[in-house]
């Protein structure tokens, strides 16, 4: 089993909480966004200083050792991986998209694409996110074809809902809510639109929408006087290709709202305690990777 954790830290000093969560959930690959403290254009530390700060907290437990990829071109997402990982290779970096090949202790490798797309606020328009996704999808397709496998996990802060165009359109992520659609006979995880085949992703975040489950109804809470208001937003997501469906179980994808017994949510009103913690909740996905 290989466990991936993503958390947008909102530039908060949450290294102790991250380390506790990683130890608690047995995290193999940690991906962070907004790690550098300070204002976006005036950070209080360098990338290497921020990574060293996080590494120091992660490695406080003597039985666990995490490693960071220093001085990469990735400026929006930051990778840390446990020494149980056989290998961790940098493939490409495209600003808000970073490609890595993860080799677990056993089994086949997994291609990880970490994303941190531009915020849509102050407007509610997601056209910029849609444009960014349409530009990166050909790169994903090309790398998959070149490496000869479709064991692809895309994870991060998409700044879109699961139902927005950049997530569901055939020429975008094409990430659907039902695994059975990807398993249709002779479809091989693709769908034909206007004579062209488009490969699909499965998006388990669809199952988190609404309040029927014990977990929060999203990963980001926004309450403003706007005509179109969802309150809970499922911006942080993990989507997988057909080749990883057999490695996935619905019990192995979670929106995390508690760390070591401490809630990340407000006590009474719905929402996230963004004063003490980040304004985003972390997400966790575990994939079976043993041979």
Question: What pLDDT does residue 211 have?
Answer: 79
Band (228; pLDDT cuts 50, 70, 90): low
Question: What pLDDT does residue 125 have?
Answer: 75
Lowest mean pLDDT among 49-53, 203-207, 261-265: 49-53
pLDDT at 23 over 90: yes
Question: What pLDDT does residue 214 have?
Answer: 78
Band (185; pLDDT cuts 50, 70, 90): confident
- Identify the CATH number of the domain in which residue 159 sits: 3.60.10.10
The predicted model gives 217-245 an average pLDDT of 85
pTM metric for this prediction: 0.94
pLDDT at 201 over 90: yes
C-alpha 243/C-alpha 220 separation (Å) is 29
Lowest mean pLDDT among 51-65, 152-166, 198-212, 225-239: 225-239
pLDDT per residue over 62-97, tens digit each? 888 999 876 556 678 999 999 889 899 988 888 889
Question: What pLDDT does residue 145 have?
Answer: 93
Question: What pLDDT does residue 99 have?
Answer: 93
Band (183; pLDDT cuts 50, 70, 90): confident
C-alpha 21/C-alpha 260 separation (Å) is 7
Question: What pLDDT does residue 169 have?
Answer: 96
Q: Work out the percent of the chain whose per-residue pLDDT is above 70.
A: 94
Question: What pLDDT does residue 200 have?
Answer: 95
- Domain range for 202 is 2-287
C-alpha 99/C-alpha 170 separation (Å) is 21
The predicted model gives 16-29 an average pLDDT of 96
The predicted model gives 271-283 an average pLDDT of 95
Question: What pLDDT does residue 213 have?
Answer: 76
Tally of domains within the chain? 1
Q: Which residues have CB under 8 Å from 13's CB, separation 6+?
A: 37
Q: Work out the percent of the chain whose per-residue pLDDT is above 90.
A: 61
Q: Is 149 exposed, middle or buried (0-12, 13-18, 19+ CB in 10 A)?
A: middle
Band (149; pLDDT cuts 50, 70, 90): very high
Question: What pLDDT does residue 225 have?
Answer: 56
Q: Which residue has the tokens 């398993």?
A: 183
Question: What pLDDT does residue 227 have?
Answer: 59
Question: What pLDDT does residue 126 have?
Answer: 78
Average pLDDT, the chain: 89
pLDDT at 273 over 60: yes
Cα-trace Rg, the chain: 18
């Amino acid at each position: 089993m290989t466990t991936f954790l993503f958390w947008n830290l909102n530039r908060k000093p949450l290294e102790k909480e991250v380390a506790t969560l990683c130890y608690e959930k047995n995290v193999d690959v940690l991906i962070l966004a907004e790690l550098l403290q300070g204002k976006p254009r005036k950070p209080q530390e360098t990338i290497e200083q921020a990574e060293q700060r996080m590494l120091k907290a992660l490695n406080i437990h003597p039985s666990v050792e995490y490693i960071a990829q220093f001085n990469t071109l990735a400026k929006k997402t930051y990778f840390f991986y446990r020494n149980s990982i056989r290998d961790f290779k940098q493939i490409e970096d495209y600003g808000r998209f970073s490609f890595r090949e993860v080799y677990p202790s056993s089994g086949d490798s997994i291609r990880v694409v970490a994303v941190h797309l531009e915020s849509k606020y102050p407007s509610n328009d997601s056209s910029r996110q849609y444009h960014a996704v349409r530009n990166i999808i050909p790169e994903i397709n090309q790398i998959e074809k070149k490496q000869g496998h479709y064991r692809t996990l895309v994870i991060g802060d998409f700044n879109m809902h699961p139902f927005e165009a950049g997530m569901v359109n055939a020429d975008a992520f094409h990430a659907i809510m039902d695994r059975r659609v990807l398993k249709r006979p002779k479809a091989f995880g693709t769908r034909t639109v206007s004579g062209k085949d488009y490969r699909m992703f499965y998006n388990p975040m669809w199952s988190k929408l609404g309040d029927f489950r014990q977990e929060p109804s999203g990963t980001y809470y926004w309450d403003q006087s706007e005509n179109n208001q969802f309150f809970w937003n499922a911006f942080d997501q993990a989507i997988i290709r057909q080749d990883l469906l057999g490695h996935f179980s619905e019990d192995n994808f979670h929106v995390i709202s508690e760390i070591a017994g401490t809630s990340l949510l407000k006590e009474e009103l719905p929402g996230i305690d963004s004063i003490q913690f980040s304004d985003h909740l972390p997400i966790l996905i575990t994939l079976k990777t043993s041979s």
